[in-house]
Amino acid sequence: MGILEDKSRARLFYKYLSKVYDQVNPFIWNEEMRAEALELLALDPDDRVLDVGCGTGFGTEGLLQYSDDVHGLDQSIHQMEKAFEKFGKTDEVNFYRGDAERLPFADDSFDAVWSSGSIEYWPNPVDALAEFRRVVKPGGSVLVVGPNYPSSSLFQRLADAIMLFYDEAEADRMFAEAGFDDVQHVTMGPSYNPEIAITTLARVPDA
């Protein structure tokens, strides 16, 4: 387990990163990548959508272009304070402080779940994905963006020491264990590394 796959360390990390997150983020996860992922999710305007690990609201901002019923959850109050400045606490978006592995919502509460740049910090990603499946209605979609596993053995060792990086095979395993159907993957990234991120779209089985 990487050093940032610990919730207290991750919160401390984001306490300081939140000050510059919106300036640094475009070099790793930019608007073009977000738009490509949103097209995959294919939301309807009346869909109730949850953004898990919403952070400062970069993904949330994209979701608002497709739905008027967007909810955001994060464990870092410092990140969320930046999102409050953009959207208010309950104006455009309803925000909640919480844990991806223990979502504070009833079964079948959402039409879709989006999570970008969060899975790499979850100590138990299958548990979190199972929670996504629980809160999404049958037939609904879940989209997760995470860091693609490096091809270089040197960078693999470095990645493993920091946080969760994974490839398509590992994503297949995690989503299958969490009970999803129709799992598909797309790699994406900025021009300097077009495969830096792995985006996984999966469907909650019909009842």
Q: Is residue 1 part of a domain?
A: no
pLDDT at position 90, please?
85
Domain that holds residue 128: 7-41+49-204
CATH of the domain at 177: 3.40.50.150
* Percent of the residues in the chain that have a pLDDT greater than 90, as a whole number: 65
Which two tokens mark 14? 């984001």
Q: Is residue 31 part of a domain?
A: yes
pLDDT in tens, 13-61: 444 344 544 555 555 679 999 999 999 999 999 999 999 999 999 999 9
- How far is it, in rounded angstroms, from Cα 201 to Cα 143? 5
Mean pLDDT of 165-172: 92
Which two tokens mark 144? 């997760």
- How far is it, in rounded angstroms, from Cα 106 to Cα 134? 8
DSSP letter at 207 equals -
Unique residue bearing structure tokens 């999102």? 83
- How far is it, in rounded angstroms, from Cα 136 to Cα 108? 5
- Cα angle 164, 49, 183 (rounded to 5 degrees) comes to 50
Q: What is the mean pLDDT of the chain?
A: 86
Lowest mean pLDDT among 133-147, 152-166, 170-184, 185-199: 152-166
- Greater model confidence, 135 or 16: 135
- Greater model confidence, 120 or 26: 120
Mean pLDDT of 172-181: 96
Residue 128's closest CA among 55, 75, 206?
A: 75
Query: Domain total for the chain?
Result: 1
- How far is it, in rounded angstroms, from Cα 126 to Cα 198? 16
Q: Is residue 2 part of a domain?
A: no
